[in-house]
Structure 1
């Protein structure tokens, strides 16, 4: 340790600031590209249906993007506090810093940023991630953090979520995140089905698929909210206490579930009460609905002979 002039090598590699995860940025860019592509072809749609298509596509892309993006977000349960806390083990030195806790579906992020950043001849700017995916071991990541020599506030919060911690946070958040992620993927599948059905002359089934999308999205929210029944350990960091709360991802997912519920309910209601208005909004013709209700194929309905002479008589008369 003398090579470090008495300073322990807590973090040999350069510090990195907190920010978006790479998968989250990729998801956002993909759906923004789809939205931009649709806006480019929007002028080619004539009449009032142009604005109907605009509302439909943008709402649908928002729902799909939100369902996928929250999987990679770490803002389901968040908290932060400004505090004067110890920085290193076996040292009385203290620093002024902001400590943040960000809990997602597959792990937690712990941030530590000094105010100012340069203190004790070091750059205090950390963003550490600890995951509990099925193929990863949280305990091993925590042991690696101990060997790396991360600052005390980071290790203190990470220890609260270990499986051996008396707080019991690991098992609750692990299970809640697992079931929430699984149900959100099911909701995404039904979102794809609802878009396919609403593009065909089957709006009723498209509305029902949208209702099922809403049901699974809301179930994911309730699954994650079940952790509120667990008494949360007090996070005491120096001179202040950190009190987490539900974050933006939780509330946006709840709003998306309610939006899907309202849209699906509106489609089903209009199908029975105002079918003409629903046809106008979905930009579907009467022929599509006629073929759905009478069982005639679109070829027969669009056939000029059918329009001039009526439907062909397919009955067969047998004379003995």
Structure 2
């Protein structure tokens, strides 16, 4: 038989065959994508941050905190580390077999799925290292039962099948799988509400930063509520016994994972930061501002200024009073109310412009300084400029 190009190096005339090269799960691509996306936004902000000249620290802290909040919500939603446990086992490798496996069994339960890992080696092949990482879902009632059947068909190790059996049981008092499913359902609902509030928080920091503290506190309250709901709903009595190498039984004891503590820390920090900013705004008569906001107030002031230059002498005083009303100081607003009272007492509005004595009375009541031209009875109404201390309009 003449060997050709395609039948060379083949055994017994069959196709070329390579042995299995199974690789364990190294990274979670969903979590990696979320981390990369938020890292790109954070890196972009850090690049342009040195060029910011005003409101630097308020802008830096608020932007970094906002990005961390969004990343924490999404990562905790998709990562299965809300309730977890690990134990060293020495049990049967498969049913009806005397072969035993010595390794570390880990259980990581999330909101809609769970990861069961087994790392170790068998007695016969101690030089070969096994690394199992199986993910099961419990999105509905029948999912856990299907997961159990699939694990039996795959021939997974006996410790992994034992954990799936405990979670799939839904009779009498064995309702651990149902409890995890309900806890994940309600917590997932609250996390999506928190993510919606976070989206509004991003809009507020750009358009209406004075509402930033309120939205931040609301997001923190929702995150803390999600933690409370999960802590109350998840099962407390789940304990799975496994034999160990010392001919004793070890029980798996569950504890809260890092996703639970991440959401709790994020919620508390949001709540404290929002309340602190709000208290400072109320007591110090100041507003929270960043360089990201669109300065709508400055645009409206420029529009009023352009309208003032084209207005008639009869409407110039009204434009000045309108600009005076926009001042944030409470003392200036009280003086503006005095101007309105004085204006109501006059019979004709033109007397305010034509009579220098009325302007002198107004300046004496409010502590305003008038130009010398109006003190002498000038009629140039477009050049009126009121000054209250160092504040001028």
TM range (shorter): 0.7 to 0.9
Partner of 1:45: 52
Write the distance in 1 (CA, Å) between the matches of 2:265 and 2:40: 23
- Who is 2:388 aligned against? none
Deviation of the 1:153 alpha carbon: 0.4
3-state SS, counterpart of residue 139 of structure 2:
coil
For these two proteins, the number of residue pairs brought into alignment is 294
Query: How has the CA–CA distance of structure 1 residues 284 and 304 changed in structure 2, closer, same or farther, with 3 Å as cutoff?
Result: farther
Counterpart of 2:46 in 1: which secondary structure?
Answer: helix
Deviations 1:258-293 (A, max 9, x none): 0110111122212211233x44x63599x86xx59x
CA contact (8 A) 1:117 1:124 kept: no
Q: Is residue 77–residue 245 contact of structure 1 (8 Å, CA) maintained in 2?
A: yes
2:290 equivalent in structure 1: 282
Give the aligned partner of residue 371 of structure 2. none
Give yes or no for contact 1:183–1:216 (8 Å, CA) kept in 2.
yes
Give the deviation of 1:44 after TM superposition. 1.7
Distance 2:184 2:223 in 1: 13
SS at match of 1:232: coil
Q: How does 1:260-279 map to 2 (within 5 A)?
A: 260-276=270-286, 278-279=287-288
Q: How does 1:1-320 map to 2 (within 5 A)?
A: 15-47=22-54, 49-114=55-120, 119=125, 123-134=129-140, 137-164=143-170, 166-203=173-210, 205-228=211-234, 230-239=235-244, 240-276=250-286, 278-279=287-288, 282-283=290-291, 291=297, 297-301=300-304, 303=306, 305=308, 311-312=318-319
Shift of 1:231: 4.2
Question: 2 CA distance for matches of 1:176 and 1:79?
Answer: 17
Moved more, 176-185 or 52-61: 52-61
Mean Cα deviation higher: 87-96 or 176-185: 87-96
SS at match of 2:49: helix
SS at structure 1 position matched to 2:207? coil
- Give distance in 2, aligned partners of 1:138 and 1:16: 26
TM-score by length of 1: 0.81
Alpha-carbon shift at residue 122 of structure 1 (Å): 5.2
Matched position secondary structure for 2:174: coil
Aligned equivalents of 1:122 and 1:234: distance in 2? 30
Q: Distance in 2 between matches of 1:160 and 1:61?
A: 39
In structure 2, distance between residues paired with 1:135 and 1:223: 20
What's the CA shift for 1:52? Answer: 2.6
Q: How many Å separate the matches in 2 of 1:86 and 1:94? A: 4
Q: Distance in 2 between matches of 1:272 and 1:143?
A: 61
What is the root-mean-square deviation of aligned Cα atoms in Å? Answer: 3.2
Q: Structure 2 length normalisation: TM-score?
A: 0.67
> Residue 80 of structure 2: SS of its match in structure 1?
coil
Which secondary structure state, in structure 1, belongs to the residue aligned with residue 238 of structure 2? coil
- Alpha-carbon offset, residue 59 of structure 1: 0.9
**Cα offsets for 1:9-29 (capped at 9, x unmatched):** xxx975443544211111111
Give the Cα–Cα distance (whole angstroms) in 2 for the partners of residues 140 and 16 of structure 1: 25
Unaligned runs of 5+ in 1: 1-11
Report which structure shows greater RCO (CA 8 Å, sep ≥6).
1
Q: What SS class does the counterpart of residue 129 from structure 1 fall into?
A: strand
Q: 1:311, 1:137 → 2: CA distance? A: 71
Q: Aligned equivalents of 1:20 and 1:219: distance in 2?
A: 30
- Are the counterparts in 1 of residues 144 and 168 from structure 2 also a CA contact under 8 Å? yes
